[in-house]
A and B are shown apart, each in its own frame.
Chain A
Amino acid sequence: MNSTHTSESNTLLSNASNVLAITAHEFKTPLTTIASIVDLLSIKLQADRYMNPFYEQQLSRITSEIFSLNNMLDEMLTINNILSGNFEAKKELLYVEEQILPLKEQFRSLTDDRKTLQITMSGTPCKILANSGQLTRIFTNLVSNAFKFSHENAPAIHLSYQENTLVITVSDDGIGIPAEDLPHLFQPYYRGSNTKGIAGTGLGLTIVKTFVAANDGDITVSSEPDKGTVFTLAFRYPDTCQ
């Protein structure tokens, strides 16, 4: 390929990336309109005394699907930014638990089965050097998966402040990941062979892996089908924090 062709294909890719970003953002307003119509219907049904458990459940399902669709859009936008090298690099010293604690409330309001994310800690809290938005995305994706695939028990996060490193585990008692899928788990669009019928884009873990690496961390996974999955993340403390 000569340089003219390379330049043209780069321009095309850049344009395609911009179109995708603009389109994904344009979807947000109609999604808000649909969510607002659901709110309006719900209030009117209650005011007119027509509301019953069936209507309530179906309206709640519409809202839940709106936010699932929105999560997919966010994942597409994030991957688009990653592929075009356009993601935030600004890092600051922060406590990881401050990024994780809001997830407890966020996921409580999105699940019907009243499962609550369990968060535990050991050791003396110490800050790590990381990008706050990327950390939030890492744990949102992992916890979202844990809720999606968990069986009876609520997903759990444990933060272990060790001597030089913060080790975080995100675990669930869900369907697990077959051994043959594990090596491919972080590849874009790869989905586990036992996830048919379960919504997802196959991008969530790619984003997690990319952002963990961008923040100088490591991530590993261990899993057993029908027993559950544990993701283990490790972030070293900056020298000033030890």
Chain B
Amino acid sequence: MSAALETQGLCKSFGALTVAEKIDFRLEPGARHALIGPNGAGKTTFVNMLTGVLAPSSGRILLAGEDITALGQAKRVKRGLGRTFQINALFRRLSVLDNVALAVAERLGVAPRKLRAASAHPEVRNESMELLSTLGLAGDAHHRILDLPYGKQRLVEIAIALGLRPRVLLLDEPAAGVPSLESHRILEVLDRLPRDIAILIIEHDMDLVFRFAQRITVLVQGEVLVEGTPEEIGRDKRVHQVYLGEQRHG
């Protein structure tokens, strides 16, 4: 069975600086996988290559067995690759509903229509509202993003990505900037995500990583240091040395 997402020998260099070195990575269908690593490990570069923001210097990216290395961002999304951003990338002056509806409309092919009003597309509105209800945001549907607390904005990030109904979802630090008292809400939402979506989470909050992920890949200086279950990673001395210090998990 082909992986939901796979990279083979993925490299990226900026001149003499190599930021990704032959990364072989496999995300199984329905997996809950975490990518961790110290600052500057190349996690964001890796995600940017997966999503098409950056072109790899060499190597291949396969989505459900199909080579998507040469495809642009939009085409990867259409094939089922969704993402959230480490720093909120929302439509700040639009309502929460419109933020999600933009994604749903793109997926349903409604977005290019010009002569019928957007509000005359109840399928987009209803699906967006359902999604917001699932994430506990229905009451905020008509608020502007600007008027929303930060924690809820992080949930809208996830809602937009879910509006694309991805087969693979890349969550770039979904709890970044959220006070620890509120991050449990993010975890609750992550736990409830449909099981048929393969999720790769990049996160600094180790509690969240070890509670959420079934497998963890550790990236150091653009290379995969080790991959394993949370227990294996928690026991690995190399990981302790480069990343976790003496902290123990799992």
Are both chains from one complex? no
